[in-house]
Amino acid sequence: MTQGKLVVLFLIVFGITSVSAKAATDVYPTNWWTGMKMNQIQLLIRSTDENLASKKVSISYPGITILKTHHFENARYVAVDISIASTSKPGVVTIALTGKWNTQKIKWRLDQKREGNGTVYAQGVTSSDFIDLLIADRFSNGDTSNDRVAGMRDQSLNRKELYHRHGGDFQGIINHIDYFKGLGVSALWLLPVLENDRPDRTEHGYAITNHYKIDPRLGGAAKYKELSDALHKNGMKLIMDAVYNHTGLEHFLEMDPPAKDWMHRWPSFTQTTYREQTLFDPYAAPSDKKRMSDGWFDNGMPDINQNNPFMANFMIQNMIWYIQEFGIDGIRIDTYTYSDLEFANRCNKAILDEYPNITMFGETRVFGTANQAYFNANNLNLPYKSNLQASVDFQCLYHGIIPALTEPINWTNGVNKLYNTASNDFLNKNPMQNVLLLDNHDEPRFFSVVGEDVEKQKMGYQWLLTYRGIPQLYYGSEVLLKGFTSPYDGLVRSDFPGGWNGDTKNAFTGKGLTQDERTVQDLVRKLGNFRKNSSAIKSGKMMHYVPVDGVYVYFRYDDDQTIMCVMNTDSKGHELDFSKYVERTGSFTEAVNIINNDKIKTSERTSIPAMQMWVLELKK
């Protein structure tokens, strides 16, 4: 008998665990917690080369019961439904896969649940907050050792190239928490930070290749937890960027799926129509509706089939895992309109059942206020009712502040578009939860949109930080970063000045900034910190007046404070008569300009210059 046969006989007789040296077996979710409301979960077990179809799955651990086992056409996968009793204790769970010739034992963690649900984490993001949106790779390089990671497909590192990696990471963000606090920022929203192991264009994070792995080039899971902890210790919040709709082409569930129907398949590449109207249009062709929801976002991002119950479970459990594992406070949901909306409701509900205080807002880049409201919790009487709390408010961007500062004034154009857009807030259950913006990673920098006019940029920020909703800053726009998305969207994703050693311009210290850049940064800093203690702006009511000759006046107010905002979008100055707004100004005698501390008697008429905005606190 050969030595090899003797080894096999020994393993069979004595029952020693044996697995192929090449085999790797993973379990998703990678771990779970005791005391969760979601105490029945579905484990997806994947082997790289072992046939799991013939193996019996067993778990011997107090309080954990196997409910059902599922097999797939790809025999390297098995799904196991388990129940975790309230009496279960944290520990290491052994999952045994027993075959005819061997038993493989997998260690899986059951952890202690994080404390402080709704108070320390999962707090929600509200109109009291001020968000800063960051691309981690483009903000600051705090740890050069992770600039390239051996074994990953993308080995680029060149700050001169728009679409190469630049080296920014979590440590760079941690190093500058004081900068955010100085601006009055209370929450950081990072573009997706999960692994994007693809050959190129990995800086943005939207082509996820492993839902249970934080990208090591940003610092990995340990450093991400450190960032979350550092923010919470500083009274700040962390917002995740979730992607329900698609994944990356190199994701293992695309390259080696359990079955063909885990992603939407077409005879040839079929892109979405990007026409959200088909989802509610009473005249829409079914084929148009299907292509909108099931078409791929682009040829590198397979469209997830959320009607597959196993894939749906995988995605929903991943959201709960992510929030619990990293202490997330709020969720921005990418490409929301392209997802299966019934699935989205299911996923949102599961999150809210576990984390009642958490808030979610979707990316709904749509055509009109009614279209946007359709995807939010709304006041519409329709068969489909969304449970999404809010959206990124592209309507107030496209049909609001941009035309207010760039279009000629007439009955419907210019600042009248901003007034008209806000007047449609009756469509939404809670418009105060919508997230306002001037720009983001997919939009032109606002400074370029307004023709590099510094006064208009300042007006934009005064509006952003005083209007109803949650203000969102895009990193670097406070120091006048510029760029259009055409011909290359990389032009709006520049590095933050001062984030790399040797930068000649440093927005953290002010070194090398022009006077205009300093002025706008100071304005954001002053107004951002003012609103932190302004009850009227954070949670007060809003009242606005019909614009006259390009002058738009709105108030934020409560029982304790009244803020009057005067926006003159005309090319000439206009008289400001406080008595025209007597419902809100009648009991006050003085108005103090928040930015420059100038004082105006409300009994006197004054003039506001062309293309300027005043933010005034009214005093008795």
Question: Taking the CB of residue 236, how many other CB atoms lie within 10 A of it?
Answer: 19
DSSP 611: T
Look up 363 and say whether it is catalytic: yes
Catalytic residue among 143, 215, 250, 334: 334
The residue with tokens 């190469």 is: 164
Catalytic-residue membership of 334 = yes
Q: What is the DSSP string of 284-340?
A: --HHHHHHHHHSBSBTTBPBB-TTSHHHHHHHHHHHHHHHHHHT--EEEEETGGGS-
Q: Specify which residues 257 forms β-bridges with.
A: none
The alpha carbon of residue 139 and the mean position of all alpha carbons in its chain are separated, in whole angstroms, by 16
Cβ–Cβ < 8 Å for 205, 441: no
DSSP, collapsed to helix, strand or coil, labels residue 269 as coil
| Tokens 């300042």 -> residue | 458
Distance, CA of 461 to chain centre:
21
Are 237 and 129 within 8 A, CB to CB?
yes
Q: How far is CA 241 from CA 194, 206, 475, 586, in A?
A: 10, 9, 16, 45
How big is the CA angle at 328 (ends 322 and 334), to the nearest 5 degrees?
Answer: 70
Give the C-alpha separation, 152 to 225, whole Å.
Answer: 22
How many C-alpha atoms does 306 have within 13 Å on its Cβ side?
23
- In DSSP notation, 341-374 reads HHHHHHHHHHHHHH-TT-EEEE----SSHHHHHH
Structure tokens at 149: 């990671």
> Helix, strand, coil: what percent of the chain each, to 5?
30, 25, 45
Return d(Cα 224, Cα 209) in angstroms, integer. 18
Of the candidates 132, 154, 215, 363, the residue annotated as catalytic is 363
d(CA 489, CA 163): 9
Active site residues per annotation:
334, 363
